[in-house]
Amino acid sequence: METVKITIVTVCHNSAATIKDTLDSVTSQSYKNLEHIIVDGGSTDETLAIVREWKKYPVRLVTEPDKGIYDAMNKGVRLATGDVIGILNSDDVYYDSHVLEDVSVVMSAASVDACYADLVYVDKNNLKKIIRYWKSCVFKKGLFPKGWMPPHPTFFARRFIYEKYGLFDINYYLAADFELMARFLERFQIKSVYIPKIFVKMRFGGASNKSAVNIIKQNIEIYQACKKNNLSVSLWTFLFTKLASRIRQFYSRPPA
């Protein structure tokens, strides 16, 4: 029985080339007790037309200027009516049709506050071509200061967790997702469950890794986020562990 309502928040801006794939991936989900909120930052291409003409399931569209991607995510979270909230970027897709079904099963336990899974980075023009395999693990206290985090597009948390512990801190331009999950899991120690499955295909080349400068800026923000949440962090341990993890992602592949 579908007892958990899931809200999917998608933030977009001039995403006409990819938004249909995202919409299709939500349409394909076997679990139907959901709402999809799309927060658009004022697109000037065909994004809005594609969303407005979408007839396969109801979509709630908000379009207005924002202060960046995390500000837009906050708008979506505030509008959510679901018991559980997930973020799916406008150039990402769910790995298969059972993702939300898996989420609903885990989140049907009242003791669970959040869940997350694995992710693959794929070629932006070929969603079947895997570039990186981000395999996560069961959370243990102390992982975030070592540069670990769950793949954010696979992260689902109860709405009351956002209401209790806060939204994305928009002072972080590239690492607000890290800061939020560190705050939830490390600082406030919410109960999370790792689902050892691939949930999301992410097109390679997002804002945080599109340039060396952004990679450096993101790591500085992550270091600052640890300090903000009173997490003891060694800069060199953090950098070494994170670098080793990223290199491993390029060489490992999901089991056949």
What pLDDT sits at residue 48? Answer: 97
CB of 155 closer than 8 Å to CB of 116: yes
Give residue 1's pLDDT band: very low, low, confident or very high (50, 70, 90): very low
Q: Kindly list the domain boundaries of the chain, sorted by start residue.
A: 6-251
Class (C level, CATH) for 6-251:
alpha beta
Give residue 250's pLDDT band: very low, low, confident or very high (50, 70, 90): confident
On the question of pLDDT at 158 being above 80, the answer is: yes
pTM: 0.92
On the 0-12 / 13-18 / 19+ scale of CB atoms within 10 A, 108 is: middle
Give pLDDT tens digits for 69-111: 999 999 999 999 999 999 999 999 999 999 999 999 999 999 9
